[in-house]
Amino acid sequence: MIPLDSAPEACASPLGHPLPSDPAVAYRTATDSPGGLRSEVVLQIQTRQAQRLVLGRAAGPDKPAIIGLVRFGMIVRRIWDSAARDDPYADAALLRILEALEQGREDVNQLQQRVQGQLDGVDGIAIGLAQTLTPVRIPLNFANPYGYMGAYLICDFDRLARTLLTARHVGMLDRDTSERMLYQGGRKVRRAFAAAQAWKHCAVTRADLLADNARARSAIEAMGTLPPDVIQGETRPRIAPDIRKPSRAADAQINPLEASARTGEKSHTGEDGAEGTRCLDEEDDDDDPARPTG
């Protein structure tokens, strides 16, 4: 029951209600507000093949690094933040990542359905998918939708792996065929995650590109030119942050120019004499969006 103010004109606060509420509502009720929303998202993995795609692989003496879901979430968080700061290259990166994730899910599901059709095609026998009694549970806490979309792709691959291993166990597929299809599915996932790695942080904005300043030229040198519709903001990903216009003072907090100064590197100078900025590759980050919390 909502408390009513029996004498609103007598009890009205000199500050007034913060919301355009009816003055009959008690001031304390009108000024109270709910806290921030929280949700719990847990990725449940049933196969070691899918778990490896979450963890990725560190580079070794004779093996390159392989990006996993955790690293993908770290990179795409920075891209998302840069897109919110009006970086058109971040928008272009999100367009590529979104397409890669959607194509990856479509390809993995096509593989799974093809094998599932074989399992369902046996008259008189119902074959259930293999499942573990002790799945790995990984709490997820991504700062934007793309990390979770990467997790959906992992789930699709996990189901594909279970389907292939089941088909091998019951004699529907030989070992070589199942291993080849597992590799094909894993490659689809890795390719989608790798789409995030081409982006470099240049702290550039659409205004920079329109002004053709040193910051813009540095970004063009690092990542090439963009289509006019992306530069103008006419084409953006269907899942993208709202653009906010930060001041240069705020932007300097993530300015690669300052980062290079801290590491002792020298910035370059543009043709117009203005000091330019170096675009930076992604670095390690201790903020693990998929680190178990307990």
Domain ranges for the chain, please list them: 1-33, 42-194
The pLDDT score that the predictor gives to residue 123 is 86
> Mean pLDDT over residues 81-93, rounded?
96
pLDDT of 12 higher than 80: no
pLDDT of 147 higher than 50: yes
What are the tokens at 263? 């590491």
72 pLDDT band, cuts 50/70/90, is very high
Q: Are 225 and 204 in contact (CB under 8 A)?
A: no
On the CB side of 199, how many CA atoms lie within 13 Å of its CA?
29
Per-residue pLDDT tens digits for 203-242: 999 999 999 999 999 999 999 999 999 999 999 999 999 9
The pLDDT score that the predictor gives to residue 190 is 97
The pLDDT score that the predictor gives to residue 34 is 85
Pairing, β 136-140 against β 41-45: antiparallel
Per-residue pLDDT tens digits for 21-51: 787 888 888 788 888 888 889 999 999 999 9
101 pLDDT band, cuts 50/70/90, is very high
> Mean pLDDT over residues 155-180, rounded?
96
Region for residue 111 given its phi and psi (left: phi exceeds 0; alpha: psi -120 to 50; beta: otherwise): alpha
What are the tokens at 256? 């690669």
Cβ neighbour number for residue 7 with a 10 Å cutoff: 8
122 pLDDT band, cuts 50/70/90, is confident
> Mean pLDDT over residues 141-164, rounded?
96
Average pLDDT, the chain: 83
Cα dist from 159 to 37, 39, 138, whole Å: 31, 25, 17
Question: What is the C-alpha separation between 251 and 256, in angstroms, rounded?
Answer: 10
